[in-house]
Amino acid sequence: MDDGEFGNERGRQSEGGEEGEEFQITMKRGSLDNNDMEDWNGLFSEEESVDGVEQAGPGTSVTPNSVLRLKAYTEDYLCAPEDNIYNINFSRFKIRDLQTGAVILDLHKQCPTEIKDAVDTNAGRFIQYRFSPTFLALREIGATLEFTVGAKALNKLRLIERHYYREHLLKSFDFEVGFCIPFSRNTCEHIYTLPELDPQTVEEMIASPFETKSDSFYFGNNKLIMHHKAEYAFCGDERHQH
């Protein structure tokens, strides 16, 4: 699992380079191919994971390969807000059930017309989600991200998510978005195939709010630029809190 060669999903962007131009990145699903990973569905199982990294934190060299080896939810953030050198700012996050098309969550943030080349220091890196217990019965969801990029071109944006229930890795997801031009607005949808959980685990997760957690690692050109954390409860109506 060399850096940049592990399975991923790639987006397709329109050509162009005008300032403020908007791009639609359409994510696709496919099967894993050992020689060409571009069509992989961005998922591998707990059994395929590798040994964990003993120590990692700000100031250490954090690579895609090293976070793929993590065995547990991190205690600290592995990078600082200032590491977002591409000034990526998120403006929307939407989750939908792919089977029914129902929108489960749709979060918006007010965005200025002009794209600013500055880090949003008010952007939260931690969020808690409250979902209905029926969320755990879903098999596939689509998660749409809308974001802007600052003055620096981003050749490769890669997202690795690690989801845990207590000390157990539930799933790891690995997505790659292609080239993002400077001062662009971008939209991408990642397709998640959710794990099939045994009834006892489902009952425990419902009875244990916020013991299901995730780390989201964002890499720009194989360098960690953002690290977000989330906790999940499955005992109420869909809502969120920072």
> Could you report the per-residue pLDDT of 150-177, keeping only the tens digit for each?
999 998 999 999 999 998 999 999 999 8
**Residue 159 bridge partners (DSSP):** 175, 218
27 pLDDT more than 90 = no
Is residue 77 assigned to a domain? yes
Give residue 66's domain range: 22-111+125-241
Total domains, the chain: 1
Specify the CATH number for the domain of residue 59. 2.70.50.40
Which pLDDT band holds residue 52 (cuts at 50, 70, 90)? Answer: very low
Name the average pLDDT for the chain: 77
* pTM of the complete model beyond 0.85: no
When pLDDT is cut at 50, 70 and 90, the band that residue 124 belongs to is: confident
In a domain, 211, yes or no: yes
- Please tell me the predicted confidence (pLDDT) of residue 178: 83
Assess whether pLDDT exceeds 50 at residue 207. Answer: yes
> Does the residue 3 lie in any domain?
no
Fill in the DSSP letter of residue 199. Answer: H
The answer to whether position 52 is within a domain reads yes
**Per mean pLDDT, which range of 19-23, 121-125, 153-157, 187-191 is the poorest?**
19-23
Quote the CA–CA distance of 91 and 187 in Å, as a whole number: 10
What are the C-alpha distances in Å from 222 to residues 40, 76, 106, 155?
Answer: 19, 20, 29, 10
Instruction: Please report whether residue 13 resides in a domain.
Output: no
CA dist 181 → 4, 13, 174, 191, 217 (Å): 20, 10, 22, 23, 21
Residue 10 DSSP one-character state: -
Q: What is the pLDDT of residues 10-25, one digit of tens each?
A: 333 333 334 444 433 3
Say if 179 falls within a structural domain: yes
With respect to residue 14, please indicate whether it lies within any of the assigned structural domains.
no
- Asked if the structure places residue 73 within a domain, the reply is yes
